Every structure is written in structure tokens, then in C-alpha cells.
Amino acid sequence: MASSLLPNYLRANRKRLALSQADVAFLLGKQIGANLSRYENLTQTPSLENALAFEIIYKLSASELFGGLYGQMEKEIAGRAKVLTEKNDRRSGGQAAKRRAALLELSRV
């Protein structure tokens, strides 16, 4: 049985480092921890800037911090890549087609 990933691991990593929401909010340059609570509870998506800041604070990649969300997006993109691969298979060949095929190999995951 495959284990399911949480959408994000922000709270777990904050607690692992014994940081309060106010501490992390300060590190993010925020005055209060309200947005942090929203990020942890998935009621608000962090900006790219904040996602990168989380990487720095927690010393983990965004794909690790947002494991469940990353997995969901990976499946969605793989599905769209499969459709795109099928469309491209009907196109003419050439170097561009070979590069596209190599890029879209993830659809076979």
C-alpha cells in the first residue's frame, strides 16, 4: 500500500526546528503569522518568493516541503504530456520532434 503524502510539510518542519509561527513570519519579513497559518493549512498558496524562503529556512526543497502538491502536479503534467506526445506523434519528424519527444518522456512515468 502506497503512503499518501501530505499536501505540505510546513508545520511539521517548523515544529521540528522549534520555531513559532511568529518566528517564521519574522524570517519571511512579515509582521504577523496569519499568512503562515494560511500557508500551513493550504487556504493560501505562498508566492514563489515565500516558497524559496521556506527552502532556505527549512533546508528542504520546495518539492519536499510541498510533497503532496508536487505529486499531484506531477501526475497532472504527466497526463497532459501524454496527450501532447500523442499529438506530436502525428506531426512530421525532424530535430525539433526529437527534442520534444525527449522532453515529454515523463509522460511514460
Give the predicted TM-score (pTM) of the model. 0.75
Q: Is the pLDDT of residue 17 over 50?
A: yes
As a whole number of angstroms, the distance between CA 24 and CA 53 comes to 10
CA separation for the pair 32, 53 (Å, rounded): 16
Mean pLDDT of 50-59: 96
User: In the block, which residue shows the cell 505540505?
Assistant: 8
Label residue 95 by pLDDT band (50, 70, 90). Answer: confident
Higher pLDDT, residue 64 or 4: 64
Amino acid at the residue 38:
R
Q: Which CATH class is domain 10-65?
A: mainly alpha
List the domain boundaries for the chain: 10-65, 70-108
Which of the pair, 40 or 96, is modelled with greater confidence? 40
pLDDT of 101 above 90: no
Contact 8, 40 (CB under 8 A): yes
Pick from 68, 58, 55: nearest CA to 7: 68
